[in-house]
Amino acid sequence: MLYWLGVAAFALAILISVSLHEAGHMITAKRFGMKVTRYFVGFGPTVFSFRRGETEYGLKAIPLGGFCKIVGMTPQDDDVAPEDQPRAMWRFPVWKRTIVMSAGSITHFLLAIVATWIAAFTFGLQNTSYPTTTALQLKERPVIDAPACVWAGTAPAGATADNCKPGVNGAIAGPAYAAGIRDGDLITNVGGTPITTYGDLVNKIRSLPAGKVAFEYSRDGVPGKAEVNLVSAERAAITDESDDAKTTTVSIAAIGWDDPSIPGIIKYNVASAVPATFDYSWYLVENTFEAMKRIPDKIPALWHSITGDERDPNTPISVVGASRLGGEALANGVPQLFLTIFISLNVFIGIFNLLPLLPLDGGHIAIAWYERVRSWLYARLKKPDPGRVDYYKLMPVTYAVILIGGAFTLLTVTADIVNPITIFNR
């Protein structure tokens, strides 16, 4: 039951964020004097609607997004009444149109920033610049140190690798070593979650309960799998990153190898959470661009996951898949993961929507600035202004983008239904 409540809660959170995206367009358009005739949440048949001033607000039956209608977005719009021509969007200065069209993505970024700030002083944020030992100095890659013996709980005073003996002073056989993992192995996946940095590795392990979890690794370029029995251990938690930071210990799941003096997650106070929020947000932006560059390479794996192959956890997911992961997070008592997925998805939607392709907002922005630059060049060359871009000539490209985007969405949704990515073994 908690799983399905989590799925519904995540889907609702995304619907609200998309609705606020459209509200961003509407509010900025109205502020500049453009005419907005409709603002609806959802698509399909109208459930109810009401009018306030010149705008109709309402709810549609299919809760898969929303829209707002701004009069005269392009010069080719043929539904602009004569009295509304002066308020047509395309007649406004390019900087105003840029603000209106980018307001949706800005809304997603603001949601992500606020959610990150809240996470920073409630659950803590991943330590993205996780310090490493000499054995791990490989561009912060998740290269593991797997000793044969480790201490569960708190290591005794003077504990070293040399005096560690399983069964003595709380020492146990190293969980990673016992599972077949060795020093220098590159961890690529933990519990279905792709691992790219050492911080990812520590953050993921500490988010899991003690017990068995699947690991994937690479040793000298050869992939391998192992089931590691995570143990309960005392590890450091930093409550504030300021100079007067106080280090405390918390009981978490561990693999036995991580330095107990270094936190994988840092918890901040309300003030110190502000700079940490922007640092973490930039980390997400960089990783989002990297993930987007890899999307074309993952399409074959998506298709194969539908036709019977094991689902590659590095493949893209849809809102359906993200909602399922959100449900898993709540069902397993990890609300911080629910919030992390919500933050990451908002960053992705915000960036994706600014790509310079029609019908995305970024496509409209790119055309507006192309027109502006072209008019400036023609004026310098003392030639007549060529006027506005003919959107009808761009329709084949627009339809191609819609077709490819629709096919990709259908592919990811199908994969998320038929063969979903899971974080926890349910």
Res 295: pLDDT:
87
Does 286 lie in the same domain as 317?
Answer: yes
- pLDDT of 263 higher than 60: no
Q: For residue range 385-400, list pLDDT tens digits in order.
A: 898 899 989 999 999 9
Distance CA 382, CA 152 (A): 78
Does 174 lie in the same domain as 157?
Answer: yes
Q: Is 22 a catalytic residue?
A: yes
DSSP letters for 38-56: EEEEEEEEEEEEEEETTEE
Res 142: pLDDT:
60
Does 277 lie in the same domain as 415?
Answer: yes
Res 153: pLDDT:
56
The mean pLDDT of 280-292, rounded to a whole number, is 89
Give the 3-state secondary structure of residue 60: strand
Does 366 lie in the same domain as 298?
Answer: yes
Cβ atoms within 10 Å of 221's Cβ, excluding its own: 6
Supply the DSSP symbol for 107: H
Residue 82 in any domain: the answer is no
CATH number of the domain within which 142 lies: 2.30.42.10
132 alpha-carbon distance from chain centroid? 25
Are 187 and 215 in contact by the 8 Å Cβ rule? The answer is yes
Distance CA 16, CA 75 (A): 31
Last residue of a domain, one of 267, 298, 325: 267
Are 350 and 109 in contact by the 8 Å Cβ rule? The answer is yes
Does 231 lie in the same domain as 339?
Answer: no
The mean pLDDT of 198-204, rounded to a whole number, is 73
Q: Which of 213-222, 253-262, 325-334, 371-380 has the lowest mean pLDDT?
A: 253-262
- With residue 9 as reference, give the H or E element that holds it: helix 2-31
Does 119 lie in the same domain as 131?
Answer: no
Res 346: pLDDT:
95
The mean pLDDT of 177-199, rounded to a whole number, is 80
Report residue 242 as tokens: 């300021």
How would residue 259 be classed by pLDDT, with cut points 50, 70 and 90?
very low
The mean pLDDT of 174-184, rounded to a whole number, is 81
Residue 6 in any domain: the answer is no
Does 414 lie in the same domain as 281?
Answer: yes
Are 223 and 204 in contact by the 8 Å Cβ rule? The answer is no
Residue 50 in any domain: the answer is no
The CA-atom distances, in angstroms, between 410 and each of 13, 102, 105, 414 are 21, 26, 23, 6
Report residue 152 as tokens: 């569960």
Q: What is the pTM of this model?
A: 0.73
293 alpha-carbon distance from chain centroid? 15
Give the 3-state secondary structure of residue 422: coil
Does 403 lie in the same domain as 307?
Answer: yes
Q: Say which of 22, 216, 241, 371 is annotated catalytic.
A: 22
Res 424: pLDDT:
63
Does 407 lie in the same domain as 273?
Answer: yes
Residue 63 in any domain: the answer is no
Between residues 132 and 45, the one the model is more confident about: 45
Distance CA 268, CA 234 (A): 20
- pLDDT of 247 higher than 50: no
How would residue 241 be classed by pLDDT, with cut points 50, 70 and 90?
very low
Preceding omega of 45 cis (within 30 degrees of 0): no
Residue 322 in any domain: the answer is yes
Number of domains present in the structure of the chain = 2
Q: For residue range 117-139, list pLDDT tens digits in order.
A: 999 999 888 766 544 333 333 33
Res 135: pLDDT:
32
- pLDDT of 36 higher than 80: yes
Closest CA to 119 of 423, 329, 332: 329
Res 149: pLDDT:
73
Q: What percentage of the chain carries pLDDT values higher than 70?
A: 81
Does 247 lie in the same domain as 293?
Answer: no
Side-chain half-sphere of 220: how many Cα atoms within 13 Å? 1
Side-chain half-sphere of 144: how many Cα atoms within 13 Å? 32
Cβ atoms within 10 Å of 18's Cβ, excluding its own: 23
- With residue 64 as reference, give the H or E element that holds it: strand 55-70
The mean pLDDT of 53-57, rounded to a whole number, is 94
Does 235 lie in the same domain as 103?
Answer: no
Parent domain of 144 = 126-267
Give the number of residues written for the chain: 426
How would residue 294 be classed by pLDDT, with cut points 50, 70 and 90?
confident
Last residue of a domain, one of 247, 267, 287: 267
Does 308 lie in the same domain as 273?
Answer: yes
Supply the DSSP symbol for 251: E
DSSP letters for 141-163: --B----SEEESBSPPTT--STT
Residue 60 in any domain: the answer is no
Residue 37 in any domain: the answer is no
Res 37: pLDDT:
95
138 alpha-carbon distance from chain centroid? 25
Report residue 110 as tokens: 């603001």
Last residue of a domain, one of 236, 267, 298: 267
Residue 323 in any domain: the answer is yes
In sequence order, the 6+-apart residues with CB closer than 8 A to the CB of 392 are 76
The mean pLDDT of 275-296, rounded to a whole number, is 89
Instruction: Pinpoint the alpha helices (H) of 81-147.
Output: 94-122
The mean pLDDT of 294-317, rounded to a whole number, is 85
The CA-atom distances, in angstroms, between 263 and each of 237, 269, 365, 393 are 5, 16, 43, 56
Res 88: pLDDT:
93
Distance CA 47, CA 271 (A): 44
Which sign, positive or negative, has the C-alpha torsion 74, 80, 82, 85?
negative
Q: To 10 degrees, the CA torsion angle through 7, 13, 18, 21?
A: -160
Q: For residue range 149-167, list pLDDT tens digits in order.
A: 776 655 565 555 566 777 7
Are 359 and 300 in contact by the 8 Å Cβ rule? The answer is no
Q: For residue range 64-112, list pLDDT tens digits in order.
A: 888 999 999 988 888 899 999 999 999 999 999 999 999 999 999 999 9
Distance CA 265, CA 120 (A): 9
Distance CA 25, CA 134 (A): 51
Rg (CA), the chain: 26
